[in-house]
Amino acid sequence: MSAGWQNIVVVEHPVPGEDRLVWARYAHVTNMQVQEGQVVKPGQLIAAIGEYAPNNYHLHFDIAVAPILRSQPGHWPGDDPAGVRAVYTDPLAFLQRYHVVR
């Protein structure tokens, strides 16, 4: 877990057309609009991009294919590429493949 991560929202999603789940993480957010355990709908505001450091607004977004974020929302394997690939997927590639336009 990175000690620098703040204000994290994790959203559990079913993968369209498949029998599995993924977990989207949004970190360094502010003005959180959701509570733990709440069901969210597509397009619903969950938070705003937060200030990571003075005058440094930053959003960390990733997608986990393993359920580690359920119990460890700040999990990150650091500089271990194999550890990253074991838990996370390329979010751009994932969204390009599975994004459903409503």
20-31: per-residue pLDDT in tens?
A: 999 999 999 999
pLDDT digits (tens, 9 = 90+) for 26-53: 999 999 999 999 999 988 999 999 987 8
Whether this model's pTM surpasses 0.85: yes
For 50-79, what is the mean pLDDT?
Answer: 91
Rounded distance between C-alpha atoms, residue 28 and residue 34, angstroms: 15
Rounded distance between C-alpha atoms, residue 39 and residue 37, angstroms: 7
Residue 14 CB coordination number (10 Å): 10
Ranges of each domain in the chain: 9-98
